Structure 1
Amino acid sequence: MTPEEDFARRVTDNIRRLGEDTDFRGLTNVWVRESIRHSYAQNFTWMGRPIIQVPQDVYAIQELIWRVKPDLVIETGIAHGGSLILSASMLAMLDYCEAVEKGTPLVPTESRRRVLGVDIDIRAHNRAAIEAHPMAHMIEMLQGSSIAPDIVAAVKQRAADFGRVMLFLDSNHTHEHVLAELEAYAPLVSPGSYCVVWDSGVEDLPEGFVTDRPWGKGDNPKTALFAYLDRIAGEGRKAADGGNLKFEIDKQIESKIMITASTDGFLKRV
């Protein structure tokens, strides 16, 4: 066994033990609940733009994009644009590394990779900041409801030009809306890639904890994703690429980062 293999084995064992530690998980649940009270996720930026994610989830995004190496990242929900910038910066890093490996010149504006963001209300100041950002050449934004037929059609049309697609859902968090997003966009996810359903951890919060939103316990991204998984399992769906549409919850990611806003929300297409 090489030193690298030995280290990987020890990390795998660490992650397994973390996943089995119910006491540690309980502490994590308390921490996440209290962090929400303090709007903790609003404290962070990525390359100058507010990202509104806990740092552990940001780290998970970095690992997923590096592992999958997508050509297109679709994101519903834009807010201040930090998540778009994160995805774009990771795609740009993939381009850089590929250029180094091939010994070819890197021309950033000629990248084939893209981030496509959808939001029902892209505020003028946020749009201006995103469009002025150095990563703007890799980002396209669509304004409209992510489940409106014209927006869904536009996203599908753009996705048809890409070979490897990743999906992040982070807009309206009601069961009905997230389920409609999954129906529309999950079939676009490539084999081996991921659909991440953000804020599925709402279901784990105490009853009545969410008071200022139309979602809450029993009506949230987690209830939607389980309904979707049950539905496609029962119907034997096909994906956009013609293959079987099957997702599994990647619990290893949760066990690795421990702190996440999205328990059960990392869905891998298999």
Structure 2
Amino acid sequence: MNPHEQFEQEVRSNVDGLKADRDVQALSRIWLREITPHKYAYNFTWMGRPIIQFPQDMMAMQEIVWQVKPDLIIETGIAHGGSVLYYASLLELAGHGEVIGVDIDIRAHNREAIEAHPMSRRLRMIQGSSIDAAVISQVHELARGKRAIVVLDSNHTHEHVLAELRAYAPLVCEGGYCIVMDTLVEDMPAHFFTGERPWKPGDNPKTAVRAYLQENDSFVVDEDLEAKLLITVAPQGYLKRVKG
């Protein structure tokens, strides 16, 4: 066994240990519960733009992009643009690929800042609902013949995410991923979700993932990746395509 294989075997052993360690998993869930009211994900930027993601998940995305080598990364939900620019940066480093960002409301000040960013040359933005038929058709046309991965991070209700999964997951290449963000809503106390946003335990991305996996056997949850991260906004949300 060469040193690279030995190191990879050690990492696999580490991940197996984390999967089996229920105390560590429980502590991670407690940490997530306690940090959520503090808006921890809002504290980070990528190359000057707010990214509103956990650093752990962005490290996972880097691994996925390098492993899959997609021609296209599709993300629903743009907000301040940090995540779409992050994915564009990864593709820039790899020297190949494009990002499509879809958002129902790309605010003028965000659009201006995103378009002025040096990584915007690998980014195409589409304004409209991610589940609107015309938007879906446009994305499908742009994705034709390309190796794609998908990130769903817009409206987090069950109905909306399930519609997104049905619309965009089929675009994912075999061996690629559809990543459903904010599945952790299902695991949070109900009183966290009393504001204007309609998602809550029982009606959120994780319930949509469960429903989608019941009707589609092309994807499985990457439990090893989740175990490796421990801290993630997407528990059971890293869906790997195992059938073409």
TM interval, shorter chain, is over 0.9
Shift of residue 161, structure 1, vs aligned partner: 4.4
Contact kept in structure 2, 1:197 and 1:265, CA below 8 Å: yes
Question: What's the Cα RMSD here?
Answer: 0.9
Moved over 4 A (4+): none
TM-score normalised by structure 1 residue count:
0.88
Secondary structure of the 1:26 match is: helix
Distance 2:3 2:66 in 1: 22
2:222 is matched with which residue? 250
Q: What residue identity is the alignment partner of 2:67?
A: R
Distance 1:255 1:79 in 2: 28
The count of residues paired between Structure 1 and Structure 2 equals 241
1:37 is matched with which residue? 37
Q: Which has the larger radius of gyration?
A: 1
- 1:55 has 2:55 as partner: yes
Distance 1:57 1:210 in 2: 22
1:83 is matched with which residue? 83
1:146 is matched with which residue? 130
Secondary structure of the 1:74 match is: strand
Shift of residue 3, structure 1, vs aligned partner: 1.6
| Deviation digits for residues 21-48 of structure 1 (CA, Å, limit 9, x no counterpart) | 1111111011111111111100001111
TM-score normalised by structure 2 residue count:
0.97
Q: 1:228 aligns with which of 212, 221, 224?
A: 212
Secondary structure of the 2:211 match is: helix
Q: What residue identity is the alignment partner of 1:187?
A: P
Distance 1:35 1:129 in 2: 29
Distance 2:166 2:3 in 1: 44
2:110 is matched with which residue? 126
Distance 2:234 2:145 in 1: 29
Distance 1:91 1:50 in 2: 19
Q: 2:171 aligns with which of 188, 197, 219?
A: 188
Distance 1:47 1:209 in 2: 30
- 1:136 has 2:120 as partner: yes
Contact kept in structure 1, 2:221 and 2:237, CA below 8 Å: yes
Contact kept in structure 1, 2:37 and 2:192, CA below 8 Å: no
Secondary structure of the 1:166 match is: strand
Q: What residue identity is the alignment partner of 2:140?
A: K
Secondary structure of the 2:192 match is: coil
Distance 2:190 2:77 in 1: 25
